[in-house]
Structure 1
C-alpha cells in the first residue's frame, strides 16, 4: 500500500445504520489506480481499527466505498 491517504471527518451528522442511531460511519476512498481486493482488505482493516479505537465505531457499523480512477480522467477534469 504505497501512496498517500487523506481523510476528512464530519462529526455530528445524523446517521442511521441497521435501523439504529448508535455510532456509525460512512466513508469513500478514492484512489488513482492501485486498488485491488488485497489492498482494499488491508485498508478496510486499518480504517476499522482507527474508527473503533479513536471514535468508538464498531467494525460492524461502518460502510466504506472504494473508487479506483485513472490519473488521465482526473487531469482532464482539472482543465475545466
Structure 2
C-alpha cells in the first residue's frame, strides 16, 4: 500500500522516467519492509516549481503508507535523493522528501479499508 509521488520541474525522457519509476518502487518497498506487489509510484515532471526562490532543478517526493518505521526514514530519504540525483541531475540539497504515516482505517483498496 505504499505510494510515492515524485514531482519535479525537470523534463524527463521516457527512459529516465521508467528508470526512476522502477528503481524508486523497489527502493521504497524494501526500505519500508513492504511487498512491492502493493507499491504505487507516480511521476509528475515538467512542473513549474521554485526552491529557495530560484527556478533551478528541484524535486518534491511524498511517501504515503500505513506503518512507516521512523528509524527507516533517514536511509530511505538518502537513497531516494541519491537516485533522483543520478537519474535527473537534481542536487540532493534541492530535494524535499515528505513521509506520511496513514492510519489503516484511512487507506482503501479493492472497495474496502485495510483497518
TM-score range, shorter chain: 0.7 to 0.9
Partner of 2:73: 40
Determine which structure has the larger strand proportion and give its number: 2
Partner of 2:99: 66
**In 1: Cα distance, 2:86 partner to 2:77 partner:** 14
**In 2: Cα distance, 1:69 partner to 1:35 partner:** 12
Matched length: 77
Partner of 2:23: none
Partner of 2:18: none
Higher RCO (CA < 8 A, seq sep 6+): 1
Structure 1's consecutive aligned runs of 4 or more residues displaced over 2 angstroms after TM superposition are 4-7
**In 1: Cα distance, 2:73 partner to 2:40 partner:** 15
Deviation at 1:74, TM superposition (A): 1.7
Deviation at 1:64, TM superposition (A): 1.1
1:34–1:65 distance in 2 versus 1, CA, 3 Å? closer
**In 2: Cα distance, 1:64 partner to 1:40 partner:** 9
SS at match of 1:18: coil
Is 1:23 the counterpart of 2:57? The answer is yes
